[in-house]
Structure 1
């Protein structure tokens, strides 16, 4: 008579407590690694705001964070990888912030209008802002460059914002306010229109103080164009 197969615990070379302990070490190590990674990305974000793309160097990041070059390259392939992380984090935070602002509104078109407005206005949403939007201009330049050099990574980074736009369009279609179409395709078209216009505006005025009035008018004009394009 053949013997029954041994249990998983019997055949394992390591007791369960060792597995649990090893998992704990991995979790703690992951948190430690991510803490330093987040510190690098946050510092890069600050440097973009202060000095634009020219002021964002690996040396500047390491000087401000106190981290070693080894610590940096354990987490990022190089400057491009770091900038992509900054861009991805900016999009993720923006999508979450925009979503929170519009979540209580019933009208999907009004929600979409505000999202478009938020994207266009950016830093000039703060009344009285007179500084240059160096970070916005830098991220616009990198957006255009990444579209050529790392299109797959850029597409993934944009997903939170495009998904937010898609949700409003899908709700609008269900309510009969938006023409029937693939909501993801339409969301991508809306985002591309808005972002391309914003990139042009930011890059042409990167050395000038932000003009809240003209940026607000631009937001209104872009929304009117989008509204007519998606209307049922």
Structure 2
């Protein structure tokens, strides 16, 4: 039997962290409380959902509990052991084993994105590529949801400004280990873009 089928999630996570600490950047899966917080604004009416860095599928399960059809989920996971586990657990979902910064061109039309990626451990250029690629694939006023263990949004303000995005704090989850905060990232309106550019020029 394949190891990913019989290894408990926390041990699989720890093993992946030991082998690739900068890519995984956590020693255990996110809690159910954090999963509920980061998916709180998403409903079955939202449409297809893009999930970046789902790991063992904690956020994926929360999306299913909210009524999102499994077939409406696209899961992007670069860690082979996690990708294999996701295919087993969510056979109707589309699992893409690739880097979130280089999504396939046909991967688009999403109404929301949920990210479990460790943005704080990534260089700003990589964060910018991930956000730019995700928003190219989000429709209309769709939102990008990101959590962090840090005291502020993990996307640098300069990156948000260059991409025409705004980040808003949504929820604090003290009972996660470690405690985490959830942010919602959206496109700026044209007026907001002008105001941001004026502020940046001072």
TM over 0.5: no
Q: Provide TM-score, normalisation by structure 2.
A: 0.26
Structure ranking higher in helix proportion: 1
TM-score normalised by structure 1 residue count? 0.24
Tell me: higher relative CO, structure 1 or 2? Use CA pairs within 8 A at least 6 residues apart.
1
Computing the radius of gyration over CA atoms, which structure comes out larger, 1 or 2? Answer: 1
